[in-house]
Structure 1
């Protein structure tokens, strides 16, 4: 039996998240694992935006759906048979370590070392660091 049967990769459009996505694809192929691709819409960034919340949220959701569709298609082209996208709105750290793992059984969570939230990272700490310390499964941080 393979060590990793279910792998979650978090994507956000950042360079390190793209590297994490590529790594998760390779691990999924190697272990014949089910791959979950998650994009968490950061509720905090939308809440503090000058735009109307509902308009910004709708635009972000449309963008996320397009990104995830492309990621799922790419994963399938790479030979991943079991792939599923997950979209969540909320606090990225808790969605990755609590919300998603409560719904989906995970053996490995793959994240980029840094993501798009540079301002938040400076004030509240790294998402990757939080995930490493709070995830209910093994975590791979990709640089």
Structure 2
């Protein structure tokens, strides 16, 4: 499959599984001379219900995510990935990864972990990974 992928999207969320997926995405991007888009989607459902707590938690979460994303971009560039971009959004990770991002930019491979930080939510709303695997229009690599 070397040479097949040109635009790789990797999902990160601060979990160990996402870190493994990130490292695999770097390796695939290098092997294919592909672009790498690093996406961190802040799950709105995890932020709370009151307007005050929502805005306070959102502000703190965005600041933390922006710092982590800068580290990820740096790591990918240090590994010699030439074309690295990032996406930080608030909403449904399932929807962003499976449809919204691929509809708005070229993506021919999505790389993600089997679970992420929202493992408790998995039982309630279903697995983000399962949703992406079943709904994405491109290949999905699940890294264990």
Q: Report the TM-score range of the alignment, normalised by the length of the smaller protein.
A: over 0.9
Which whole-Å CA distance do the structure 2 matches of 1:106 and 1:47 have between them? 32
What CA distance in whole angstroms lies between the structure 2 residues aligned with 1:111 and 1:119?
Answer: 18
Number of residue pairs matched by the alignment: 143
> 3-state SS of the aligned residue for 2:75?
helix
Instruction: Determine the C-alpha separation between the residues in 2 that align with 1:117 and 1:5.
Output: 29
Distance 1:128 1:74, change over 3 A: same
| Structure 2 alignment gaps of length 5 or more | none
- Please tell me the root mean square deviation across aligned C-alpha atoms, in Å: 1.5
- Offset of residue 48 of structure 1: 4.0
Distance 2:121 2:80 in 1: 36
Aligned partners of 1:26 and 1:137: how far apart in 2? 19
CA distance in 1: counterparts of 2:113 and 2:76, whole angstroms: 18
Q: Which runs of 4+ in 1 moved over 6 A?
A: none
1:60 aligns with 2:61: yes
Correspondence for 2:44: 43
Equivalent residue number for residue 93 of structure 2: 92
Q: Distance in 2 between matches of 1:47 and 1:104?
A: 31
Q: Secondary structure at the match of 1:47?
A: coil
Change in 2 beyond 3 A, CA 1:47/1:102: farther
Structure 2 length as normaliser, TM-score?
0.94
TM-score by length of structure 1 reads 0.95
